[in-house]
Amino acid sequence: MKTINKILVCVTLALCFGAQVQAADGGNPKKGKHLYKKECKACHGVGNEGGEITPMSKTMSQWDRFFRRNKHKAKAEVFNALDEQDLLDIQQFLYDHAADSDQPQTCG
């Protein structure tokens, strides 16, 4: 591949994914907290089938990667059932209260 093509590919990829790299931005964390409790806690509360998960279970970048790459691979259908804005709101809440955030939270 010519150098110019390589540059173009890089620039384009950056355009595509640039916004998503600074992922946890644009979500409403208050709505996210509600949705997290409603949608996630059903399986991820104490003693539930998915095992307890709280915002503090991951760091900010781990949460971002989870929403960008993993997308709840273990049970993809639960992510598919939520619309984009809902997922962004949940991601924002988890990111804002992750283990290495200013305000870590154990639970919603």
Partner 1 sequence: MKTLLISLVSGGLCCFSLAANAANPHKDYVQGPFTQGSDVTSVCIECHEDHAKDVMKSSHWTWELEQELPGRTVTRGKKNAINNFCIAVSSNEPRCTSCHAGYGWKDDSFDFNDMTKVDCLVCHDTTGTYVKDPAGAGEVLAKVNLERVAQNVGAPVRDNCGSCHFYGGGGDGVKHGDLDSSMSYPDKVTDVHMDTDGNDFQCQTCHTTEQHQITGNAMGVSPGGMSDIGCENCHEAAPHDNKRLNSHTSSIACQTCHIPEFAKNEPTKMSWDWSTAGQDIEQTTDEFGKHTYMKKKGSFVWAKNVKPQYAWYNGKADAYMAGDKMDPKAVTKLTYPLGDINDKKAKIYPFKVHTGKQIYDSKQNIFITAKVFGKGGYWKTFDWNKAAELGMQANQAMLDKGIKYSGEYGFAETEMWWRINHMVAPTDQALNCNDCHNKGTRMDWKALGYQGDPMKNKSIKKHATD
Considering the complex, state which of residue 3 and residue 74 has its C-beta at the smaller distance from partner 1.
3
Binding-residue pattern over the window 29 to 68 for partner 1, x denoting contact by CB under 8 A: xxxx-x---x------------------------------
Counting contacts by CB under 8 A, is residue 7 touching partner 1?
no
* Residues 93, 29 contacting (CB under 8 angstroms): yes
Stretch that binds partner 1, among 9-17, 47-55, 56-64, 65-73 (CB under 8 A): 9-17
Report the C-alpha gap between 14 and 35 in whole angstroms.
30
Q: Are 93 and 36 in contact (CB under 8 A)?
A: yes
Closest separation in Å from C-beta 76 to partner 1: 22
Residues 14-33 that bind partner 1 (CB under 8 A): 15-16, 18-19, 27-32
Give CA–CA dist 108/97, Å, rounded.
10
DSSP 8-state class, residue 22: T
Query: How many Cβ atoms from other residues are within 10 Å of residue 54's Cβ?
Result: 21
Tokens of 99: 């283990």
Residue numbers at the binding site for partner 1 (CB under 8 A):
1, 5, 8-9, 11-13, 15-16, 18-19, 27-32, 34, 38, 89, 92
